[in-house]
Amino acid sequence: MSFDDRPIGLFDSGIGGLTVLKALWSTLPNESFIYLGDTARLPYGSKSPQTIERYCLQNIDFLVKRGVKAIVVACNTASTVLLDKPHEFAVPIYNVIEPGAREALKASAKKQIGVLGTKATIAARSYVKAIHAIERGATVYQQPCPLLVPLVEEGLEDDPITNLIIYRYLQPMLQAGVDTLILGCTHYPALRLGFEKVAGPNVTLVDSAQALAHQIGADMGQELNPKLKPSAGRRGIELLTTDAAQSFLEVAQRLMHPHPVPELVAVDLI
Ligand code: DGL
């Protein structure tokens, strides 16, 4: 089979989706990526489904014109809206919700699962629907966490204030007895340490990125052996943002660590 060397496109409302890019970059050693962060219109999580859908369609159109072979919606909020209203696209589209739901069900012994996400993701109950589509009897608790994205964007991942807010958000679910927590926003893996501290060792944290990377690899007939020497030099990452602010670069570097981050290039979608 000949290798299709067109890049894989990803988009997010901002730079949180870099946690997904990081997983794809290290799991799919032969792939190149174009990442679009819609930093000019961030956040998506507090906007209406109609507005988020419009932004998603523009992002997808932009990436398709750039010649990508598939698109990863590296944003739970955007994935939620696209799942609720499916469209026909020129290339395969991957969302982060379904792999996360499958992974959580695999991890949860008690089938008591907590979901953390933006207001839009939680209001649409996308994880509840995806989990119940596989296992009707699972109990799913939800918690919107609107304060967490700004804390990550401000670089306060490891800060007592952040941990206090995480505690406030998690307490009701922990009291209810969840054994698995879905980090249902692509910014949240950056807060993994804080979640671990608050949730303790008996709660499994799930983020979709790794499961999604394996699904894409399998679909593309790709070797996933992490020891496989990456075809360095022959592949790359383009980082595009809709706002020129270089302040995102520092956060991008933290989220992608230890992988190097190229310059952010500002683009116009329309
Ligand atoms: N990264 C987005 C997500 O995964 C949330 C950020 C936003 O609200 O724009 O839902």
Q: pLDDT at position 29, please? A: 85
Catalytic residue (one of 8, 18, 23, 75): 75
Whether residue 234 has pLDDT greater than 90: no
Q: Residue 129: CB partners within 8 Å, gap ≥ 6?
A: none
Return the percentage of the chain with pLDDT > 90, whole number.
Answer: 69
Contact 26, 259 (CB under 8 A): yes
pLDDT in tens, 237-265: 999 999 977 778 888 888 888 888 888 89
Whether residue 1 has pLDDT greater than 50: no
| pTM for the predicted model, two decimal places | 0.90
Half-sphere CA count of 219, side-chain side, radius 13 A: 13
Catalytic residue (one of 15, 120, 185, 203): 185
In the structure, how many helices (H) and strands (E) does the chain have?
A: 11, 10
According to DSSP, the residues that pair with 201 across neighbouring strands are: none
pLDDT in tens, 39-56: 999 999 889 999 999 999
pLDDT in tens, 167-210: 999 999 999 999 999 999 999 999 999 999 999 999 999 998 88
Return the percentage of the chain with pLDDT > 70, whole number.
Answer: 94
Round to whole Å and give the CA distance between 99 and 102. Answer: 5
Ligand 1 atom, smallest distance to 185 CA: 4
Contact 33, 10 (CB under 8 A): yes
Whether residue 159 has pLDDT greater than 80: yes
Contact 46, 63 (CB under 8 A): no
Check if 44 has its Cβ closer than 6 Å to any atom of ligand 1.
yes
**pLDDT averaged over the chain?**
91
Reading the block at residue 160, the tokens are: 């007592």
What is the mean pLDDT of the segment spanning 79-94?
A: 92
Whether residue 2 has pLDDT greater than 70: no
Output DSSP code: residue 138: -
Q: pLDDT at position 202, please? A: 96
What is the mean pLDDT of the segment spanning 78-98?
A: 93
Check if 149 has its Cβ closer than 6 Å to any atom of ligand 1.
yes
Whether residue 231 has pLDDT greater than 90: no
